[in-house]
Amino acid sequence: MPRTARDVVFVDGVRTPFGKAGPKGLYAETRADDLVVRVIRELLRRNPGLPPERIGEVAIAATTQIGDQGLTIGRTAAVLAGLPRSVPGYAIDRMCAGALTAATTAAASIAFGASDVAIAGGVEHMGHHPMGEGVDPNPRFVSEQLVDTSALVMGSTAENLHDRFPHITKARADAYALGSQRKVAEAYAAGKIQPDLVPMAIRSAEKGYGLATVDEPPRPDTTAEGLAGLKTPFRPHGHVTAGNSAGLNDGATGCILAAEDVAGELGLPARMRLIDFSFAGVDPEVMGIGPIPATETLLARNSLTMDDIGLIEINEAFAVQVLSFLDHFKIADDDPRVNPWGGAIALGHPLASSGVRLMMQLAREFAERPQVRYGLTTMCIGMGMGATVLWENTGLWENTGFRENTSFEGAK
């Protein structure tokens, strides 16, 4: 029988506040799977029109799939969250783009008609499971020179980008990082980030029980002088510091995706529409340039240019990685389309969870900008990859009658 792909929409997204990894972090004594359970339950609470039995899949990503974020966490978290046993789930890994891949994979299933609604997200407890824990890289990578040894150390790959693009100086990377901290502080002060946060119960053997309600990593008192004086741990007299990079963090994200007609049937909001997505591979030792070919492929396939894109949510793994993307597309460092509420340098980057954070911020930004038609969520990925998703603002059509007026000006 002939099949036609269905439109897929982003219904809603939530996340736990992000914590600092380590023995003094918010979630030092909290399980990773409990973070995911909290997110799933909050998604259902916020969307009472969604019958739990209509959920066709729970896709949860984790980079380090052992311990409390192992055991096919998409399925186990669904059971722990109280979803019907008939709801299946799975785990997925594409390192930093885990949650993004969970969302695109679930969306593809919906578009094909294999399910109507899905929950997709990610978790990373880097305090319990440091990046690379339990990994045994095949010695052929080095012995056969398949990759440079720096490819296995993300900070070193960022230093390699500084080598490749010497015009991206440490001072420029620090300035970008300072801007991220400032934008996050302003967004918090304006109440823009808090609506997507779900309070998370925490405990400490020393301090007792508490409630995590805000992100722990932001440093609103950051100064240019302070950034300039930080050590460069990946290379003597290098460029990459703890101040112009995302930190080591713990946290979970989740979102509801649905076929657009099903969202309408259930009375669920359609905050933005998934148009297309692209993944690309690059040399692992310069993995930070991955978003460039992924975005180029996506724009070309949809007959668009960067001038057509009104919002860009790019994961700030390293400032140099973002700046290389901006330079390639001739975008200014302070372009208001880019991470208007700040990014991972300030908020944190719990690896596999970050892709859905980009999506929920983009959805909120779309709602504030009904004149914007297209937006991107994009990120680099360890071992040499990039990912980009193209989204369309459903609010544009609702508020401007775009379908009837295709010459609407300003619909970027």
Can you give the pTM of this predicted structure?
A: 0.94
- Annotated catalytic residue, options 96, 128, 129, 239: 96
Fold of the domain built from segment(s) 8-130+140-397: Peroxisomal Thiolase; Chain A, domain 1 (3.40.47)
Question: Is-catalytic flag, 255?
Answer: no
Q: Tokens representing 41? A: 């339950």
Q: How many CA atoms lie within 13 A of 299 on its CB side?
A: 18
Q: Among the options 129, 162, 239, 380, which is catalytic?
A: 380
With 0-12 CB in 10 A as exposed, 13-18 as middle and 19+ as buried, what is 410?
A: exposed
Q: What are phi and psi of 64, to 5 degrees?
A: -105, 100
Which residue type is seen at 174? Answer: D
Q: What tokens does 402 get?
A: 């775009």
Q: 380 an active-site residue?
A: yes
Q: What are phi and psi of 370, to 5 degrees?
A: -65, -15
Q: Name residues of the chain where pLDDT drops below 70.
A: 1-2, 397-412
* 96 is annotated as an active-site residue: yes
Reported as a single tens digit per residue, the pLDDT across 89-127 is 999 999 999 999 999 999 999 999 999 999 999 999 999
In the DSSP assignment, the letter for residue 384 is T
Distance of CA 230 to the CA centre of its chain: 26
**Buried-exposed string 304-323: b where 16+ CB fall within 10 A, e elsewhere:** bebeebbbbbbbbbbbbbbb
Per-residue model confidence (pLDDT) at position 218: 98
CA 292 – CA 165 distance, rounded (Å)? 14
**d(Cα 86, Cα 317) in Å, to the nearest integer?**
37
Rounded Cα distance between 58 and 39, Å, is 12
Residue 354, CB-side half-sphere exposure with 13 Å CA sphere:
32
Write down the pLDDT at residue 364: 97
Q: Which residue type occupies 243?
A: G
342: left (phi over 0), alpha (psi -120 to 50) or beta: left
pLDDT digits 0-9 by tens, 228-254: 999 999 999 999 999 999 999 999 999
Spatial CA neighbour of 358 closest among 258, 246, 266, 282: 246
Judge whether 313 and 377 are in contact, CB under 8 Å: yes
